[in-house]
């Protein structure tokens, strides 16, 4: 199996109050707000703040029954997941499965911008929810 160029894409943080969270990350820390979006499939509003080659993503649930809402209710918020960017998501998923990792998604999901992604269960990673993003082609 070939190795892939892997890099950190983003760190997602669950917040209860987006304005309060943005005040800290933008005003107190000085990070710029790149953009915001609503992801209906994951039932979250997201604020993207670039830092280095990656991003901090602030995620706020928009329903009370989503996985992110349940996480917020249980923990009060905080780091939700780490996202790694891979060249080929099928290759990465196959390698993880071959090594006994528990994939939450059997096949990649697709974001509105065309980016494909999947999640790896924290039981396989030492307690951290891991998301994989497939690198967008530079064509």
Give the domain ranges of the chain. 7-134
d(CA 39, CA 103): 21
Position 139 scores a pLDDT of 46
User: For the segment 19-62, what is each residue's pLDDT rounded down to a tens digit?
Assistant: 999 999 999 999 999 999 999 988 999 999 999 999 999 999 99
Q: How many CB atoms lie within 10 A of CB 116?
A: 19
92: tokens are 């990465």
SS3 49: strand
Position 2 scores a pLDDT of 52
Position 82 scores a pLDDT of 97
User: For the segment 74-128, what is each residue's pLDDT rounded down to a tens digit?
Assistant: 999 999 999 999 999 999 999 999 999 999 999 999 988 889 999 999 999 999 9
pTM: 0.88
Is the domain spanning 7-134 CATH 3.10.180.10? The answer is yes
Position 136 scores a pLDDT of 82
């Amino acid at each position: 199996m070939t190795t892939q160029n892997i890099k950190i894409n983003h760190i997602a943080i669950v917040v209860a109050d987006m304005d309060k969270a943005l005040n800290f990350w933008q005003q107190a820390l000085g990070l710029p707000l790149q953009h915001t979006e609503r992801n209906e499939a994951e039932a979250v509003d997201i604020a993207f703040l670039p830092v280095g080659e990656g991003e901090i993503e602030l995620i706020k649930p928009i329903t009370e029954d989503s996985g992110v809402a349940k996480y917020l209710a249980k923990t009060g918020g905080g780091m939700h997941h780490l996202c790694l960017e891979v060249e080929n998501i099928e290759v990465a998923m196959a390698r993880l499965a071959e090594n006994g990792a528990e994939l939450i998604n059997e096949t990649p999901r697709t974001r509105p911008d065309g980016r494909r992604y999947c999640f790896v269960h924290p039981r396989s990673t030492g307690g951290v929810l891991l998301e994989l993003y497939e690198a967008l082609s530079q064509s």
